[in-house]
Amino acid sequence: MASGANNEFELKGLSVSKGIAHGEAFVMLNTDFKVPVYEIKPSDKERERERLQTAIIRAREDILKVKAELSESVGEAEAAIFDAHLLVLEDVAILQETFGMLERENFNVEYCYSCAVDKFIGAFEKIDDPFIRERIADLKDVSKRVIDKMLGRSTLNMGILSDPLILVSSDFAPSDFALVDKSKILAIITEKGSQTSHTAILSRSLGIPCIVGVEGVAEKVSTGQFLLVDGYNGNIVANPTENTLRHYTELESVHREVQKLFDSALPMPSSTLDGEQFELFINISGAADIPQAMENYAGVGLFRTENFFLDMGAFPDEDAQYEAYAAAVKAAKGKPVVIRTLDLGGDKNLSLMKMVNKEENPFMGYRAIRFCLDHKDCFKQQLRAILRAGALGPVKILLPMICSIREVERARGMIEEAKEDLRKEGKAFDSNIQVGSMIEVPSAALTIDIIAKASDFISIGTNDLIQYILAVDRVNDMVAHLYEPTHPAVIRIIDHVVRRAQQAGIPVSVCGELAADPTFCSLLLGMGIRQFSMSAKSVGEIKYLLRKISLKQAVDLRNDVMALTRSRHVISRLRSFHYEIMQSK
Ligand code: PEP
Ligand code: MG
């Protein structure tokens, strides 16, 4: 139930993308949202029955459509999964149970239907059989579709909204960005999520204020309600008064001034007070994220290609990929572009993939290089497209989620095969392309000396590295407080990787969110990092800060922090250092 029809009320969450926005809310409902229950008149029962029948017909049309699309893009065998959905949809026993309840009780039909479905799921759950487990998943999926139809809620509706809106949802997956016109999103508010979820990362790079971890927001706020979102402090004000709006407008102008100060550092040399050089690269999801003034940036340190796949909602072919990579190379104006191979899985799922591979623990599962080495045709296509884009400017290949040297060798083997094919076909490509490994799994971090033997460069993906070191799912809000970049284990492992990469004589950069953390960047410099990659929006602030310190200060900071034994001590040391820099002239 939405609270307070017109009274101002506040909600609090964790801010993961800065900025202030105000406008109307659009509440996206999803699986976690409770099915509404209300009483109906006995005379309405016939109409309720018809509502269910119509919803089933519509759901059937949807399923047949998705089946046809999937059959075209992936294959008939995979598309056959929808035959099971059609059977569940028309299951007579569920309909009898629903209509029986509708007859006996005076409740709305979606509620009766959900009770019937729950009853069957409950019975199925007692049977320990993989086939039955699959049927439970089908039943959940199909029943959600039917209930959505009855409630008139469809995610696709978002795409046709003409006015900019604040999206409110229990969860907003990275693939959901593909359903909406991003320019129409004023802000995003979710119940789930965390600082390093890909939704948060994308929001930051799109400059969309985003607040996560707002308990019950999808129920407390209703579509059309006027909201004010303070993405600096994680505050949401519903039905804000004139006074509140004025207060936040002032706050926004203060933040704008501070950002102007940071951005004034953009054209300045990238060197510390004592002349140590560093380089600030940008993370992108496509050419559109590359700023015009590329002279202010060292290049593209991370091109997350999977976001392009998610936007398309499918596996684009080689030429479509080539176009996308070539556009980035051109927009980078001669600066290097590090293209990461497909990192699907975890919280980045193509809906097609999700249907084919349902995983209990996706972050530990069929992700990134594991998926690619198993889907050679799809991987080859991407490698060919990257190699060809390399003929247009300096391009490097980055392999995600590497666990062992074997994976790097296998990927390199496929790169060589792709080169050979392109050579035979007479197509232009970069035959000397550099191949780097992402260090984001502890096994790779601890064997960095071995991985380095097969890698031309190393990029530390701190977002994943932290979750795997600490066994804290990066998108699970229930354990978000345990996701501690300042944990001594994290500090030691990053330091170890940097040192060992240096000993091996290969360049090492950081492309995870820590690189853009104003309290962390000096520590990384002190550890030996000279290449940082982050969303273009963060570069001004990090450059401003690094230009205000000396390498000696950074190394002293690193030595101090390495001796600390508790996360909170590390936090306070880093915060006081940051405060000192900001105060210094
Ligand atoms: C990381 O894990 O730090 C990283 C840069 O990759 P992603 O956030 O896309 O998983
Ligand atoms: Mg990662």
pLDDT at site 381: 96
pLDDT at 161 over 90: no
Please give the mean pLDDT across all residues of the chain: 89
Furthest CA-CA distance within the chain: 83
Strand segments, DSSP code E, in 217-317 are 226-230, 235-238, 279-284, 300-304
Highest average pLDDT, of 109-123, 200-214, 398-412, comes from 398-412
pLDDT at site 425: 98
- 300 phi and psi angles, rounded to 5 deg: -100, 115
Q: Which of 285, 369, 438 to mutate to test the pocket of ligand 1 (most atoms within 8 A of CB)?
A: 438
Q: How far apart are CA 143 and CA 412, in angstroms?
A: 45
Sequence-ordered alpha helix ranges (H) in 106-190: 109-125, 130-151
Atom index in ligand 1 nearest the CA of residue 346 equals 10
* Residue 281 neighbours by CB under 8 Å, 6+ apart: 297, 298, 299, 300, 301, 302, 338, 509, 511, 531, 532, 533, 534
- Work out the average pLDDT over 380-385: 97
- Work out the average pLDDT over 380-401: 98
- In SS3 terms, 376-439 reads as HHHHHHHHHHHHHHCCCCCEEEEECCCCCHHHHHHHHHHHHHHHHHHHHHCCCCCCCCEEEEEE
Q: Name the residue with tokens 């991985």.
A: 451
pLDDT at site 148: 78
Strand partners, 63: none
* Residue 90 neighbours by CB under 8 Å, 6+ apart: 56, 60
Q: What band does 196 get if pLDDT is binned at 50, 70 and 90?
A: confident
Q: Which of 304, 437, 533 to mutate to test the pocket of ligand 1 (most atoms within 8 A of CB)?
A: 304
Lowest average pLDDT, out of 92-106, 186-200, 235-249, goes to 186-200
Q: How far apart are CA 45 and CA 23, in angstroms?
A: 39
Residue pLDDT, tens place only, 399-428: 999 999 999 999 999 999 999 999 999 999
Residue nearest to atom 8 of ligand 1 (CA): 463
**3-class DSSP state for residue 505?**
coil
Counting ligands in written order, which one lies closest to the CA of residue 463?
1
Residue 128 one-letter amino acid: D
Q: How far apart are CA 438 and CA 580, in angstroms?
A: 33
Q: How far is the CA of 554 from the centre of ligand 2 (A)?
A: 26
Q: How far apart are CA 352 and CA 178, in angstroms?
A: 14
Characterise 25 by phi-psi region: left (phi > 0), alpha (psi -120 to 50), beta (else): beta
Residue pLDDT, tens place only, 317-331: 999 999 999 999 999
Q: Report CA dihedral (7, 10, 11, 15) to the nearest 10 degrees.
A: 130
**Could you tell me if 241 and 226 are in contact, meaning their C-beta atoms sit under 8 angstroms apart?**
no
> 75 is written with which tokens?
């294959």
- Selecting among 22, 85, 198, 578, the annotated active-site residue is 198
Q: Which of 440, 458, 508, 517 to mutate to test the pocket of ligand 1 (most atoms within 8 A of CB)?
A: 440
Atom index in ligand 1 nearest the CA of residue 465 equals 2
Q: What band does 435 get if pLDDT is binned at 50, 70 and 90?
A: very high
For the beta carbon of residue 308, count every other beta carbon within 10 angstroms.
20
- Selecting among 210, 511, 521, 578, the annotated active-site residue is 511
Nearest to 174 by CA among 463, 504, 415: 463
pLDDT at 297 over 80: yes
- Work out the average pLDDT over 531-538: 96
Is 511 catalytic? The answer is: yes
Residue pLDDT, tens place only, 328-348: 999 999 999 999 999 988 887
Q: What band does 160 get if pLDDT is binned at 50, 70 and 90?
A: very low
* Residue 413 neighbours by CB under 8 Å, 6+ apart: none
Is 372 catalytic? The answer is: no
pLDDT at site 156: 39
pLDDT at site 246: 95
Pocket of ligand 1 (CB under 6 A): 201, 302, 304, 343, 440, 461-464, 511-512
